[in-house]
Amino acid sequence: MRRGLELAALGPAVGDHARVGAVILSPEGDVLAEGWHKGAGTPHAEVDAMAKVDPEHLRGATAVVTLEPCNHTGRTGPCAVALLEAGVARVVYAIDDPGADVHGGADRLRAAGLEVVSGVLASEAEAFLERWLLSVRLGRPWVTVKWASSLDGRAAAADGTSKWITGAAARQHVHEQRAAHDAILVGTGTVLADDPSLTARGDAGELLADQPLAVVLGDRAVPADAAVRRHPRGLVTLPGHDLATSLGALRGHGVHSVFVEGGPTVASALIAAGLADEYLVYVAPVLLGGPRVALGDLGVGSMPARRRLDVLSTTALGPDLLVRARPQHPGPPEHPQHLDDGATLDHHDDGSTNDRSTT
Ligand code: AOF
Ligand code: ZN
């Protein structure tokens, strides 16, 4: 299974597909073949692996797969049937397929008399596929919110200029993150103020191989001559005010992960709605002061309602610092509290309360 996860990682990191790996073993435990899924419309991992084995050697073999074999006819046929017809005796997989139309492969195989084992390296497989799994389970893409700010949390100087707060290393890191998501999203305010191209570029300004889809959120029109209209992957505009619905609409474009690059209005609205899954904050050793803060109102009226994050890593990028963090409690706040609530106590998951207002 560990090898299966390595194979899965050979598949494209972005795109409308799950990255899956498979290893076929003989009854004696020898590796007969390896396979992995290479992107939407190509053979699934177990079928890719089986195609490399002489059919007579598949009889009685074991298939080790990082995701439950599918049970549906999508862009390819059901893997459960392919395994059955090949005469495979045993299937070992890591995690269940969360897809409503796709799952059920394990039950089908068991019903046909195969030995089926699930849950092997499940937490590793879950972590490896976390963006795709969240997207299928919640019906909206994984959302990474990024901003760059001064040490005092400002995203621009008083006149609105923000080029550049962070240095070249941080900005290059941002471009790599753009390429590692299916889409890049900004609000119409950012399009009108900055005219961004929303492409992923290398050191010399060249386009990287993976380009995120450009997405603009908001009701104001994107000007006809806006740079984003010349985006190599094309532009999707999302009007309307229901953020979850707007994000959900991106699934129809094959988007499982979104990189949100501003501005403060869009980022704050997504965070306030509990729709931010990860934060990438690039902090520069400069002070800007003034009114142009990186985030606006999050509905945090008083300390008990503060959004707690876990820091996953801090990385020096030249003179700047990248903080990668995630919400401690994903989703919208259960009990939003405002200043006029008069509440001063923290509520913990275990039901206990204590005053932590000074921490
Ligand atoms: C597997 N093995 O290697 C992968 C699976 O449109 P399709 O036919 O490519 O089906 C896509 C769905 O199949 C995808 O959403 C996920 O649920 C599953 N992916 N299943 O048995 C694989 N990549
Ligand atoms: Zn399949």
Q: Which residue has its alpha carbon closest to ligand 1 atom 18?
A: 70
Instruction: Please answer whether residues 237 and 222 qualify as being in contact, where contact means their C-beta atoms are separated by less than 8 angstroms.
Output: yes
First to last CA, the chain: 43
In a domain, 231, yes or no: yes
In a domain, 302, yes or no: yes
The verdict on 22 and 170 lying in the same domain is: no
| Pocket lining for ligand 1, CB < 6 angstroms | 17-18, 20, 37, 44-46, 67, 69-70, 74-76, 79, 97, 99, 102
Q: Which residue has its alpha carbon closest to ligand 1 atom 19?
A: 18
CA distances from 20 to 54, 137, 168, 355, 356 (A): 22, 17, 35, 47, 44
- Express each pLDDT in 191-207 by its tens digit: 998 899 999 999 889 99
Instruction: Please answer whether residues 258 and 146 qualify as being in contact, where contact means their C-beta atoms are separated by less than 8 angstroms.
Output: no
Active site residue 28: no
The verdict on 83 and 143 lying in the same domain is: no
Choosing from 108, 128, 148, the residue where a domain stops is 128
Domain of 314, in residue numbers = 138-357
CA neighbor of 130 nearest in space, from 120, 144, 117: 144
- Express each pLDDT in 268-277 by its tens digit: 999 999 999 9
Distance 78 CA to ligand 2 centre (A): 5
* pLDDT digit string (tens) for the chain, length 359 residues: 999 999 999 999 999 999 999 999 999 999 999 999 999 999 999 999 999 999 999 999 999 999 999 999 988 889 999 999 999 999 999 999 999 888 999 999 999 999 999 999 999 999 999 999 999 999 999 999 999 999 999 999 999 999 999 999 999 999 999 999 999 999 999 999 889 999 999 988 999 999 999 999 999 999 999 999 999 999 999 998 799 999 999 999 999 999 999 889 999 999 999 999 999 999 999 999 999 999 999 999 999 999 999 999 999 999 999 999 999 988 887 754 443 333 333 333 333 333 333 22
In a domain, 133, yes or no: no
The verdict on 345 and 300 lying in the same domain is: yes
For residue 176, give both structure tokens. Answer: 């790599």
Which residues lie across from 325 on neighbouring strands? 279, 311
φ, ψ for residue 124, nearest 5 deg: -65, -45
pLDDT at 77: 87
In a domain, 273, yes or no: yes
CA distances from 176 to 112, 169, 211, 293 (A): 46, 11, 10, 25
Measured between alpha carbons, how far is 67 from 120 in angstroms, rounded to an integer? 10
The alpha carbons of the chain give a radius of gyration, in whole angstroms, of: 23
The verdict on 72 and 178 lying in the same domain is: no
Distance 79 CA to ligand 2 centre (A): 4
Number of domains into which the chain is organized: 2
Measured between alpha carbons, how far is 159 from 30 in angstroms, rounded to an integer? 67
In a domain, 280, yes or no: yes
Distance 48 CA to ligand 2 centre (A): 10
Which atom of ligand 1 is nearest to 19's Cα?
23
pLDDT at 345: 32
Which atom of ligand 1 is nearest to 105's Cα?
21
For residue 155, give both structure tokens. Answer: 């995203």
Which residues are near ligand 2, the ion (C-beta closer than 5 Å)? 44, 70, 79
In a domain, 248, yes or no: yes
pLDDT at 340: 38
The verdict on 306 and 190 lying in the same domain is: yes
The verdict on 232 and 345 lying in the same domain is: yes
The verdict on 119 and 219 lying in the same domain is: no
The verdict on 197 and 279 lying in the same domain is: yes
Distance 249 CA to ligand 1 centre (A): 21
The verdict on 308 and 188 lying in the same domain is: yes
The verdict on 229 and 97 lying in the same domain is: no
Measured between alpha carbons, how far is 208 from 229 in angstroms, rounded to an integer? 18
pLDDT at 335: 54
CATH number for the domain spanning 119: value is 3.40.140.10
Residue where the block lists tokens 């142009």 = 292
The verdict on 116 and 228 lying in the same domain is: no
CA neighbor of 125 nearest in space, from 79, 184, 65: 65
The verdict on 268 and 201 lying in the same domain is: yes
Choosing from 128, 148, 177, the residue where a domain stops is 128
CATH number for the domain spanning 205: value is 3.40.430.10
Instruction: Please answer whether residues 74 and 43 qualify as being in contact, where contact means their C-beta atoms are separated by less than 8 angstroms.
Output: no
pLDDT at 346: 34
For ligand 1, mutation pick of 7, 50, 70, 71 (most atoms within 8 Å of CB): 70
Choosing from 99, 128, 157, the residue where a domain stops is 128
